[in-house]
Structure 1
Amino acid sequence: MSRFTLSLAERGENTSLVNLIKILRVLDAVYVLEHFTVAPKTSPILLAKVGEKTRLRASKSTYISPNDEVIW
């Protein structure tokens, strides 16, 4: 890496990703790139398939407690 490339990076000018990684390696700061990792996401189709299996049908409760009066 040339001194010119390093001075460009220090000034905030355009540098390539390869040069940025080289600079981070020299500074032992590669851990900074961990913030750019993408967390795996579950696909919406897979969520829908799982949701179909756990879906319950809505129904009225048929339990009547002994204290409730039935009014006709």
Structure 2
Amino acid sequence: MLYGITNIIEDSRRTNISLPNGRNLHIKNALYFSKSYRNLLHFEDICLNGYHIETINEGYVEYPYITKLHLNKKESI
């Protein structure tokens, strides 16, 4: 367990995330917090798996999304 002002991180370990089209994202040090409502991906893990983070604007809101080059064509995941 990691300690700080409050004990929120309960565990850490390796994990794999299955993405659409059978792709997998391998994370070396995923942090676990059972009361979390959202999951966080580490930027370095995304890049080490050959993916890139970009942003897209829809109206007045900016959203991040993950892309990867496949056969010299950028695909959004």
TM-score by length of structure 1 reads 0.21
Higher Rg: 1
Scaled by the length of structure 2, what TM-score is found? 0.21
* Larger strand proportion of the pair: 2
Q: Which one has a larger percent helix, Structure 1 or Structure 2?
A: 1
- Bigger RCO of structures 1 and 2 (CA < 8 A, at least 6 apart): 2
